[in-house]
Structure 1
Amino acid sequence: MLTPFVELDALLTDLATSARDILGDTYIGTYVQGSFALNAGDLNSDCDFVIATTVPPRAGHERQLRDLHDDIPARPGFWTRHLEGSYADAASLRTVDGLGTPWLFCDHGHRELIWDTHCNTPHTRWILRQHGITVDGPPIASLVDDVPPQSLRDAMRAAMPTVLADVAEWAPLDVAWTQRYIVTTYCRTLYTLRTAKVASKRGALEWALATVDARWKPLLTQVIEDRALGWDPTEPPRPGSLAETREFAAYVARIA
């Protein structure tokens, strides 16, 4: 099995087959990264994929891929609405020299593909290289070089000052899920700065629980225990948790 979910495995296999049929000889392979590659995927995760190509999708191929991703969320099932990933050309995927190159991107829960750098990060390459799951094609380690530790740390140092503002641009701060996401993001950022590795959301929270000052144990425990609640746009943050989250953000910035 590729993942713990039979339905998701079938969807990934179908995605790989469809992409191969559309892309023809420009198709290389389909791979899973993110939480499922880190052995931490669950029903509150999306499934992150990368489809490697010899060249960026050409106009005719792009139209067919757009039709494919417009259709998938309309199919029956749970996981059809929880895919996220990019079509990455092999040249820009191989090393961090390719950072900044837009890839054709399917955002979680969306039906319209866009050209974006969302997946084009050192983190994506590190997960693919170290833990990527091959759905179809050659081993992913043959397509992605080792990621320099400093590249991972530099990316996190650059992101740290604007985490709160960046999240607020797309996730409402008066929703409990957002509060949990912010705490988790700071934990993952700190983990990468300290280790030059990438942890799953839960893995980073558990690492932080054992690493940071004990003053933050209640906040981290709350986020871990509430993860199962998932996304509910009507659920406000627990009383006082958003203020505590802001203080935690300032603490992480100080010790990073």
Structure 2
Amino acid sequence: METDVRRYLVDLVTVARSVLGDNLVGAYAAGSVGLDAYQPGRSDIDVALVCADPLPEDDKRALVAGLRHEALPCPARGLELVVYRCSVAASGTPEPGFEVELNSGGRMPFRATYAPQDRPLADGHFWYALDRSILHQCGHALLGAPAREVFADIPPADLRRLLVDALTWWLALPTPPGDEPAAGAEDAVLGACRSLVRFRHGRWLAKTAAGRRVLADGDDAAPVIERAIAARDGGTPPTGPQARAFQRSVLAEITPPA
């Protein structure tokens, strides 16, 4: 873990404790930090906080005020923070179930959501349970018990449905036209690889590692995956149509038979 990221996470927990007091019982690094794949200049910092009791509205707003980039500068592209109650973290529910959500950073649009029903359906409700599944496997405890003891995994049928929902959501986004390399196409390809590895092998891997695991499986889309991996280090990304074609092939494999 980068020194500036480590220091930031310590400061984040300090601010959270000052706002939530004894109600804060856990703090966990997720995403690329949890998966030991943080890439300076590209990765976000993903954090899940766990509280014992529901958060009063004043505490939600005070937490957002104390942790937004303007108050606590994030050394990465941005912070993606979600707060859950203990009961939700331990439930294995496929529902969002969060208390408050904050996205904030120097290169990330600000967003604060204070209840799951305020999250637009078009923005996706599948992220949260998938993130809790990742936390169950590899969350890094900053405060509290080990993540595996706090976050339950979600049942296989729910997991499969959420992976389908996620891929369907990605495919509904506008596809960059033509045969020119498309910014972000590498993330679309490698994100689909991560879903495929979780489905095939039961493990969450970082995006690049997932791409390599799918290559080891002998996938027919090897040239597109190899191009996506190279783009993570500055190479030329796939085109939009190439990325979408690969995502559609992954969706077809993961979707349950009718």
Q: TM-score, normalised by structure 2?
A: 0.80
Partner of 2:190: 184
Unaligned residue ranges in structure 1 (runs of 5+): 231-236
Select which of 121, 126, 129 maps to 2:136.
Answer: 129
Task: Write the deviation string for residues 172-219 of structure 1: whole angstroms up to 9, x where unpaired.
Answer: 8478332112212221222222123322111211112222434x2221
Select which of 11, 28, 32 maps to 2:29.
Answer: 32
Unaligned residue ranges in structure 2 (runs of 5+): 120-124
User: Structure 1 residues 125 and 208 mapped into 2: Cα distance closer, same or farther (>3 Å)?
Assistant: same
Q: How does 1:1-256 map to 2 (within 5 A)?
A: 4-43=1-40, 44-70=42-68, 72-73=69-70, 78-79=75-76, 81-97=77-93, 99-107=95-103, 109-115=108-114, 116=116, 121-165=128-172, 167-168=173-174, 173=176, 176-214=182-220, 216-229=221-234, 241-256=239-254
Measure the CA separation in 2 of the matches of 1:161 and 1:130.
Answer: 24
SS at match of 1:228: coil
SS at match of 1:122: helix
SS at match of 2:50: strand
More helix by share: 1
- Cα pair 1:49 1:83 within 8 Å, conserved: yes
Give % identity. Answer: 25
> What number of residue pairs does the alignment pair up?
239
Instruction: Please say which of residues 99-108 and 127-136 is displaced more in the overlay.
Output: 99-108
Aligned Cα RMSD in Å?
A: 2.7
Measure the CA separation in 2 of the matches of 1:181 and 1:120.
Answer: 16
Please identify runs of 4+ aligned residues in structure 1 that moved more than 6 A: none
Measure the CA separation in 2 of the matches of 1:95 and 1:114.
Answer: 22
- Cα pair 2:94 2:129 within 8 Å, conserved: no
User: Structure 1 residues 156 and 26 mapped into 2: Cα distance closer, same or farther (>3 Å)?
Assistant: same
- Cα pair 1:87 1:105 within 8 Å, conserved: yes
Measure the CA separation in 1 of the matches of 2:31 and 2:153.
Answer: 17
Task: Write the deviation string for residues 93-115 of structure 1: whole angstroms up to 9, x where unpaired.
Answer: 11223623243111252444213
User: Structure 1 residues 48 and 193 mapped into 2: Cα distance closer, same or farther (>3 Å)?
Assistant: same
Letter aligned with residue 214 of structure 2: A
Measure the CA separation in 2 of the matches of 1:27 and 1:103.
Answer: 12
Q: TM-score, normalised by structure 1?
A: 0.81
